[in-house]
């Protein structure tokens, strides 16, 4: 063989091997999983106008082909039950059983988790579920959101975003069904929330339509044609076995619905749908006293809590603006003017 032909043959062989390897491995951040394997690593968010951060990622590439499902948790780093549920899944998912690929981000907001700061990323004071699709040259939250959009949302076919009651939120479990107006996609997300198994479901129909101003993670996926839902369980800094198990089992059931795991998916038998959510806010700074528990039904104008000044005098009575279910109520005495006292779901029979 002439040298020139040898070089040509070698080049062709090299390209074929590289192409095969490219098909075989699935890479997110520094984690590359071969078929039938799992890999862990991180999405490195480089320093910019503020410090960089490192977002842990696990990739499970199934032995058989199938869709790509993304599971994202801990954008609010003190919604612990959802973070612990992802840790359990990472330890129990078996790539040999999976058809397709699972990307897990168990803890997006490490600064919030480490410093025990609810609602926001303490590095830039921004919620890590309000700045999607993100900005490459923005603050840490925006840069992280940009990388998650590129490396996770754009690469997946389906997505589940996990939340729960934050340190100050006494929350009962529920999910969101994002209704986009696209009948096919809405049918899939409808099936996903029913398969997930949380029996209280909020119909979310007023989401941003512009993919460039999608704000929320699930909406970033949905506006890009990838069916996505949001699930919430856990409350007030606790890690209750029932909440963790509901999130783990719900995820496995959705994977069965998507034919990524063998077996039949579960389905909620008698879902309670909410067509509207009312947010009650405090009109004063002070000390909050709840009068109802999460999950209870209240009538319109029912007194659900009150705020006193720092000497015990009642200065504000919180009342339900409509009949509904207490989805969450403030679980701590700290109260600031304009902060949430409770979210109340108004039941609809026509979701
Ligand atoms: Zn959250």
- Per residue in 143-201, pLDDT (tens digit) is 999 999 999 999 999 999 999 999 999 999 999 999 999 999 999 999 999 999 999 99
**Residue range 92-118: mean pLDDT, rounded:** 98
Give the pLDDT confidence score for residue 18 in this predicted structure.
Answer: 41
Residue 220 · residue 214 · CB < 8 Å: yes
Cα of 304 vs centre of ligand 1, distance in Å, is 23
CA dist 319 and 28 (Å) reads 47
Among 14-18, 166-170, 268-272, 343-347, whose mean pLDDT is lowest?
Answer: 14-18
pTM of the model: 0.93
DSSP one-letter code for 186: H
Alpha carbon of 163 to ligand 1 centroid (Å): 4
Alpha-carbon gap, residue 244 to 290, rounded angstroms: 25
Note the pLDDT of residue 107: 98
Q: What is the mean pLDDT of residues 38-53?
A: 98
Neighbours of 63 (CB within 10 A): 13
Among the listed ranges 3-17, 221-235, 255-269, 290-304, which one has the minimum average pLDDT value?
3-17
Neighbours of 225 (CB within 10 A): 12
Tell me the C-alpha distance between 209 and 193, whole Å.
21
Q: Say yes or no to pLDDT of 296 above 80.
A: yes
Work out the average pLDDT over 221-241: 98
Query: How many Å apart are CA 281 and CA 299, to the nearest integer?
Result: 18
- Answer whether residue 7 shows pLDDT above 70: no
Segment among 21-25, 68-72, 200-204, 300-304 with least mean pLDDT: 21-25
| Ligand 1 centroid to residue 225 C-alpha, Å | 23
Q: What pLDDT is recorded for position 5?
A: 59
What is the distance in A from the centroid of ligand 1 to the CA of 181? 25
Question: How far apart are the CA of 244 and the centre of ligand 1, in A?
Answer: 15
Distance in Å, CA 247 to ligand 1 centroid: 14
Calculate how far, in angstroms, residue 76's C-alpha sits from the geometric centre of ligand 1: 5
Question: How far does residue 152's CA lie from ligand 1's centre (Å)?
Answer: 18
22 pLDDT higher than 50: no
Answer whether 261's CB lies under 8 Å from 251's CB. Answer: no
Q: Which long-range contacts (CB under 8 A, 24 or more apart) does 135-143 make?
A: 137/48, 137/49, 138/48, 138/49, 139/48, 139/49, 139/50, 140/45, 140/48, 140/50, 140/51, 140/52, 140/53, 140/111, 143/45, 143/46, 143/48
Q: Is 126 helix (H, G, I), strand (E, B) or coil?
A: strand
The arithmetic mean of pLDDT across residues 236-253, rounded, is 98
Residue 19 has pLDDT above 60, yes or no: no
Helix (H) or strand (E) holding 295: none
- % of the chain with per-residue pLDDT over 70: 93
Alpha carbon of 151 to ligand 1 centroid (Å) = 21
């Amino acid at each position: 063989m002439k040298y020139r032909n040898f070089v040509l043959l070698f080049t062709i062989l090299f390209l074929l091997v590289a192409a095969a390897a490219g098909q075989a491995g699935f890479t997110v951040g520094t984690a590359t999983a071969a078929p039938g394997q799992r890999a862990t690593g991180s999405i490195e968010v480089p320093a910019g106008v503020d410090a960089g951060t490192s977002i842990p990622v696990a990739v499970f590439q199934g032995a058989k082909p199938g869709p790509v499902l993304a599971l994202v948790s801990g954008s609010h780093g003190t919604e612990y039950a959802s973070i612990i549920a992802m840790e359990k899944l990472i330890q129990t998912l078996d790539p040999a059983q999976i058809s397709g690929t699972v990307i897990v981000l168990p803890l997006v907001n490490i600064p919030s988790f480490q410093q025990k700061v609810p609602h926001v990323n303490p590095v830039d004071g921004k919620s890590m579920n309000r700045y999607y699709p993100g900005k490459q040259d923005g603050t840490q939250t925006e840069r992280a959101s940009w990388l998650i959009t590129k490396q996770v949302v754009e690469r997946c076919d389906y997505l589940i975003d996990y939340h729960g009651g934050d340190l100050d939120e006494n929350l009962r479990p529920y999910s969101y069904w994002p209704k986009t107006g696209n009948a096919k996609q809405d049918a899939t997300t409808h099936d996903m929330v029913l398969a997930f198994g949380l029996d209280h479901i909020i119909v979310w129909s007023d989401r941003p339509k512009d993919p460039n101003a999608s704000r929320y993670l699930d909406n970033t996926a949905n506006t890009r044609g990838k069916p996505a839902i949001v699930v919430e369980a856990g409350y007030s800094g606790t890690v209750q076995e029932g909440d963790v198990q509901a999130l783990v089992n719900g995820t496995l059931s959705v994977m069965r619905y998507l034919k990524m795991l063998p077996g039949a998916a579960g389905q909620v038998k008698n879902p309670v749908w909410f067509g509207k959510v009312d947010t009650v806010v405090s009109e004063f700074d002070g000390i909050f006293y709840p009068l109802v528990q999460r999950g209870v039904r209240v009538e319109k104008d029912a007194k659900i809590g009150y705020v006193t000044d720092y000497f015990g005098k009642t200065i504000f009575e919180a009342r339900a603006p409509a009949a509904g279910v207490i989805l969450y109520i403030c679980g701590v005495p700290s109260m600031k003017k304009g902060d949430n006292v409770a979210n109340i779901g108004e039941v609809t029979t026509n979701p």
